[in-house]
Chains A and B, each alone.
Chain A
Amino acid sequence: MLLKPTLDDLNLIGHNLGRVMTVTAGAGLLPLVWAIAEHEPAPASAFLLMVAVYAILGGAGLHLRSQRKHLSWSHGMVVVALVWLLVPAVGAIPFWLSGHFAGYLDAFFDAMSGITTTGLTVANDLDHMATSMIFWRHLLHFLGGQGIIIAALSLFAGAGVAALYHSEGRDEHIFPSVGSTARFIWLVSVVNALLGVTVLAIIGTASLGFDVGRSIFHGITIFMAAFDTGGFSPQSTSMAYYHSALYEAATSILMVAGALSFGLHYALWRRQRHLHRNIEARTLLITFFGTLIITQIGLVTLGLYDTVGPLTRQSYFQVLSAHTGTGFATVPSSELALWGGLAFAGMAIAMALGGMASSTAGGVKALRIGLTAKAIVAQVKKVLLPEGTVISTRFWLNGPKDLSSDVVQGVMTATLLYVALYLVGAGAGLAVGLPLQEAVFESISAAANVGLSVGVTGPGMPTLLKVTYILQMWAGRLEFLAVFSLFGFLWATVRGR
């Protein structure tokens, strides 16, 4: 029997929501300042409105007081699930007022796509969009990828922060305290930002011939979309806009950095040994090259690329983008739709598997894939070896660990939930009349927070699909538990005792 939440529960949740909203209001000042600096008065007024709404929600939440000081796990889960709904709901206001979206639902779709680092878009006329508005789209990637909660944790020390941290789908403790871990994540991000933007801006100026200001603009936006494995682009033609292998190479490095867990970043910074034994790194390498080979065989079979050079460059970039969950493309969506057969299979599998746990990438995650494979091998051994043989399965993740049945159960549950989520979206696609391949591709892209499209996602997409993809992006990013907790909380509010 679920217990009905008390007023004290609601106050505790409201207070913590208020904290996060206040931090988000602070982040919202950045596009406001940008709009003022760029002489974009209409977007500036829209951003002022957005910041005001965030701040009102924040201020109202901070006024709520609870008898309890500690957030329980269930409170944390509910807060996080609500944060990931409220932030895009308010963040959609400037998009809605920009005139580039057919209505609020479309604006909300893009805001949800931004915060969940998906990158699917239903924007009209992106190429004439205000630079401050584009910056806000990409900043949503950054906030979502680095974790709004992480930002709040870095600023507000307090009891029960671990509940919030884990509710956002992060399992990693790089340092003993969650606050220190949060600050390390920001340190990694800032260092990568400085390096990434500088390198992209230099390439933009020296190689692509953009003026310095525009090179920096492209550098900032592309960095945020690549490192946070988001996929929004300042131009409608995505990475094909740049026509530069060098720019693609620099972006590839950022995409890989974004798909690595922050624990692995820490290990790399500390030049720790045993990196080659890390189960996630090994799994990611195997699945990346596996899906790359599958895709390449498919493309050769289709006869889309005649020679090795183009085949390698185009397949490498698209598969890397899919596997890291970024969603950049160097081919138009109409052409991606022609990647049938094995090329489709390679891309779909790459998207579905995703990057590392506790990274900015979505999908099932390399850790779960690796552990699932180990569990299957152990099961096969159990069948083949003499009865009564004790089989101990170990794996390496920041040290040697035993593969317990609890871990296997958790991994299998999450994997099954992802598969179910992919199927639900594909079913919705089929329901509105999409061909199977397109329905599956787009559904995986939304649920695994990738953002590649074969042309289905767009302003003219049926409302059913927009709503389905919004829910998929939200559930996929939060890895289900927080979402289920919110539904349970609402149920308890209505039917609990």
Chain B
Amino acid sequence: MMRRLLAAITLVLIAVAQPAAAAADDIDLADLLADPAAYADAQVALVGELIGDYGFRPDGTVWTQLNDDPYATAPLHAAGGTPSGGNVGVGIVGDRSMFHELDPPGRFDRVGPVVRAVGVWRYHDDARGGESYLELTDLEPIWPGYPIQQPLSRPVLIVAIGLAAIAVLLLAGAVRKQRHR
């Protein structure tokens, strides 16, 4: 809980304290996706959690996904997160060297590193068959990733074990009945 709170405070502080030049390019991913053509080939900066996989491709680049949604600081299953809709994510690509120091990406068992991704928004890129993605020029770690775990619900486990025992008895009875016929 404390770590998530600190992460949220850090994000707010960064948003407030960014130098003016950089802040001019900072945009919400939701705004970018609402009108992606308007940012075509523009330099933009996105803040969010790296999630899924780091795809280390043979050409020396790394592809991954950046999510700019509330779950970056409060995943649902790790105590406290509230449902806030689907994820808001986009593909980013950069040189392998940018990803050396980063923690593993976010998944069920961890929150991924929160980064400020600066790059050129490639919209319907001809060179890549019409894909849209952020081509990184800089990747600045803001907050490291950390492990999370969904707490085990004892009532669910107890009920599950109880019902499983009943199920075994019922099925065993049915099998016995079948053999007798």
- A interface with B by C-beta (< 8 Å): 18, 22, 25, 39-43, 45-46, 48-49, 51-53, 55-56, 58-60, 62-63, 97-102, 121, 123-131, 133, 206-211, 214, 235-237, 240-241, 243, 245, 304-307, 309-311, 313-314, 330-332, 334-335, 458-460
Contact = CB atoms under 8 A, between A and B. Distances in A.
B164 A51 contact: yes
5 contacts: A48-B164, A59-B173, A100-B83, A236-B87, A331-B132
Contacts of B166: 52, 56
Given A48-B161, A123-B86, A243-B128, A208 B63 contact: yes
A124 B84 contact: yes
The DSSP consensus for interface residues of chain B is mixed
Interface residues of B, number: 65
A52 B150 contact: no
A243 B150 contact: no
Nearest to A313: B129
A46 B132 CA distance: 38
B174 A59 contact: yes
A68 B85 CA distance: 50
B51 interface: yes
Contacts of B36: 335
A306 B55 CA distance: 29
Contact of A334 (B34, B76, B167): B34
B156 A125 contact: no
B140 interface: no
Contact of B67 (A99, A127, A129, A314): A127
Contacts of A334: 33-34
A469 B178 CA distance: 40
Per DSSP, are chain A's interface residues mostly helix, strand or loop, or mixed? Answer: helix
Given A237-B91, A245-B129, A97 B173 contact: no
B77 A100 contact: yes
Contacts, number: 204
B141 interface: no
Contact of A459 (B85, B130, B168): B85
A310 B123 CA distance: 11
Nearest to B126: A307
Given A100-B76, A127-B67, A313-B130, A49 B159 contact: yes
B124 A305 contact: yes
Contact of A243 (B89, B131, B164): B131
B58 interface: yes
A125 B163 contact: no
B108 interface: yes
B124 A310 contact: yes
B141 to A, nearest CB: 19
Interface string B148-169: 0011110011011101101111
B150 A130 contact: yes
A310 to B, nearest CB: 3
Interface string B59-86: 0001101010101000111000101111
Contacts of A98: 76-77, 150
B85 A458 contact: yes
A375 to B, nearest CB: 40
A43 B171 contact: no
Contacts of B131: 240, 243, 330
B83 A101 contact: yes
A124 B76 contact: yes
Given A126-B86, A209-B58, 7 more contacts: A25-B167, A48-B161, A52-B166, A125-B87, A237-B87, A237-B91, A240-B132
B143 to A, nearest CB: 16
B76 A52 contact: no
A51 B84 CA distance: 30
Contacts of A237: 65, 87, 89-91
A245 B129 CA distance: 8
Nearest to A54: B167
Contacts of A58: 167, 170-171
Residue of A60, A63, A125, A235 with highest tally of chain B CB at under 10 A: A125
B101 to A, nearest CB: 18
Nearest to B52: A235
A243 B133 contact: yes
Contact of B130 (A43, A46, A60, A310): A310
Contacts of A458: 85-86
B100 interface: no
B121 to A, nearest CB: 13
Nearest to A211: B53
10 closest cross-chain pairs (CB), A and B: A310-B130, A59-B170, A55-B167, A52-B163, A209-B56, A62-B174, A49-B160, A236-B87, A42-B150, A124-B83
Contacts of B129: 245, 309-310, 313-314
A63 B77 CA distance: 39
Nearest to B88: A236
Nearest to B163: A52
Interface in B28-46: 33-34, 36
Nearest to B125: A310
A178 B111 CA distance: 49
A125 B157 contact: no
B47 to A, nearest CB: 16
A229 B120 CA distance: 35
Contact of B150 (A43, A131, A311, A335): A43
Contacts of B87: 125-127, 236-237
Contacts of A53: 163, 167
